[in-house]
């Protein structure tokens, strides 16, 4: 048993960082001085490389070195020489000369013996010390916030996770942007399209006409599917999820803010097997051998799939983001995220508490950012207002983008917006209802990288499934 009776550091907000028994903060003063000296020897090469590598003032632990970095970089940006006389004058003009140790302190940097050939070794050492300090500071802030913050726990977790993620990203040197590389990628895409013979570049939704219009679901895209209640938007989302998870055999993450996960699983089994809930009830469990075979096959397919369902009610954008990151760590080949539905999500920031429009804007913007961060398409359902029901004549029930609740931010953030509706739902009499039957339509009202138009569908209510419909002449569709 340890006999160490030293008082442990107080990590409440505002308390000083532990240093004594825990050791000094990670630092490399001589390495800092060496890099600054290199900047005075060959500023065009060294400073430009530091900027390209993402160096900031926080890389320097010594305050005087941080001041000199800012001045050296500023002079480099302006194309002004970095000589000792001019730098002393600039420091004097800004009352910072004493902060760097006076003229002797500055000359110590200019005269420091170094070699620009050591740049990579010294820069990597400085980056490592900076990252270690960042980890300590992040942990300290998280501990202080956990003691005193009134924010929701999931908000605290998300903020901490984002800070840790930023540290991770700061370690990634990344690749320098290259026009030639992007041109080559664009040419490869063009060649694929020319030789595709109708194949799409992105993921298939299972609906050929929709795939052709959007060229498949692609990484970083936000696809909003909006409808009035009872139009079948959850079924449409599940049909796409089923296609990706069971036909394409890819990992898919689905968030259900409205229905329990077991209900989504039941819907998937009905749609996949072709055995409806009505059949199960009517036959009182006495299904035919063929029906039982199809149901068992659907169960095995679903059991062996990489589908992940989260049914947290009213999930916040921060919690959703954290869970999505965790699932992608477990399934690096995660191909798509589905969300049912946007207006049931929440944002717990102070700004969002005072404005529903601001809250929706934070959620839609957060989903778009998440799709780019994780490099996966996100399909999110959204509710329409009563606009379609109030339209007169033949336009009754036909939705428009402006019918989206709190539509401004959603319209802006979405790459595609599909408006789902069923014709028979607004029929004025039984004859018209019978004529419209199971006809449905997905109006692709926004498509950032392709055409807009209608995707004719048929809704099989008992199986909760949308299928492709061949347009009739009286539909006015080609």
Distance CA 120, CA 123 (A): 5
**And the tokens for 379?**
């399909």
Nearest to 394 by CA among 469, 314, 475: 475
CB atoms within 10 A of CB 246: 19
* Residue in the structure block whose two tokens are 């929701």: 152
**And the tokens for 142?**
């998280």
Please state, in angstroms and as integers, the Cα–Cα distance from residue 263 to each residue in 132, 309, 400, following that order.
47, 11, 30
CB atoms within 10 A of CB 149: 14
Distance CA 12, CA 436 (A): 66
CB atoms within 10 A of CB 130: 22
**And the tokens for 138?**
């992040």
**And the tokens for 316?**
């916040």
Return left, alpha or beta for 393; rule: phi > 0 is left, psi -120 to 50 is alpha, else beta: left
Catalytic residue from among 70, 128, 258, 266 = 258
Distance CA 418, CA 468 (A): 15
Could you tell me if 336 and 379 are in contact, meaning their C-beta atoms sit under 8 angstroms apart? yes
Distance CA 212, CA 214 (A): 6
The rounded radius of gyration (Å) of the Cα atoms in the chain is 30
Residue 462 is a catalytic residue: no
Say whether 37 sits in a helix, a strand or coil: helix
Residues with catalytic roles: 258
């Amino acid at each position: 048993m340890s006999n160490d009776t030293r008082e442990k550091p107080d990590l409440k907000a505002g308390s000083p960082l532990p240093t004594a028994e825990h050791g000094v903060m990670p630092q490399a003063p001589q390495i800092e001085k060496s890099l600054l000296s290199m900047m005075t020897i060959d500023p065009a090469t060294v400073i430009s490389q530091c900027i390209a590598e993402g160096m900031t003032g926080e890389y320097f632990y010594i305050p005087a070195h941080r001041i000199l970095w800012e001045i050296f970089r500023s002079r480099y940006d302006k194309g002004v020489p970095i000589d000792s006389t001019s730098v002393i004058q600039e420091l004097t003009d800004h009352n910072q000369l004493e902060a760097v140790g006076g003229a002797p302190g500055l000359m110590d940097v200019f005269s420091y013996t170094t070699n620009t050939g050591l740049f990579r070794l010294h820069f990597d050492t400085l980056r490592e010390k900076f990252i270690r300090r960042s980890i300590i500071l992040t942990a300290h802030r998280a501990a202080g916030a956990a003691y005193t913050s009134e924010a929701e726990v999931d908000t605290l977790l998300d903020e901490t996770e984002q800070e840790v993620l930023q540290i991770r990203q700061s370690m990634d040197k990344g690749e320098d942007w290259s026009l030639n590389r992007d041109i080559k990628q664009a040419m490869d895409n063009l060649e694929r399209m020319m030789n595709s013979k109708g194949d799409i570049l992105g993921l298939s939704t299972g609906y050929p006409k929709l795939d052709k219009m959007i060229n498949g679901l692609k990484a970083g895209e936000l696809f909003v599917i909006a409808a009035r209640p009872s139009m079948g938007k959850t079924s449409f989302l599940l049909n796409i999820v089923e296609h990706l998870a069971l036909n394409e055999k890819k990992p898919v993450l689905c968030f259900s803010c409205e229905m329990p996960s077991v209900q989504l699983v039941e819907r998937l089994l009905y749609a996949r097997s072709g055995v409806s809930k009505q059949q199960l009830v009517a036959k009182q469990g006495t299904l035919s051998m063929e029906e039982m075979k199809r149901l068992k096959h659907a169960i095995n397919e679903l059991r062996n799939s990489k589908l992940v369902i989260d049914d947290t009610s009213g999930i916040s954008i921060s919690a959703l983001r954290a869970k999505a990151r965790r699932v992608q760590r477990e399934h690096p080949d995660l191909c798509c995220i589905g969300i049912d539905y946007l207006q049931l999500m929440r944002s717990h920031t102070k700004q969002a508490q005072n404005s529903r429009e601001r809250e929706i804007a934070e959620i839609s913007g957060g989903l778009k950012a998440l799709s780019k961060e994780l490099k996966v398409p996100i399909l999110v359902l959204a509710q329409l207002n009563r606009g379609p029901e109030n339209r007169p004549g033949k336009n009754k029930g036909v939705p428009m983008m402006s019918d989206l609740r709190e539509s401004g931010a959603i319209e802006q953030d979405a790459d595609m917006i599909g408006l789902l509706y069923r014709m028979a739902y607004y029929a004025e009499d039984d004859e018209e209802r019978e004529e419209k039957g199971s006809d449905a339509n997905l109006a692709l009202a926004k498509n950032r990288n392709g055409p807009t138009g209608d995707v004719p569908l048929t809704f099989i209510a008992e199986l909760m499934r949308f299928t492709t419909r061949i347009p009739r002449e009286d539909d006015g569709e080609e």
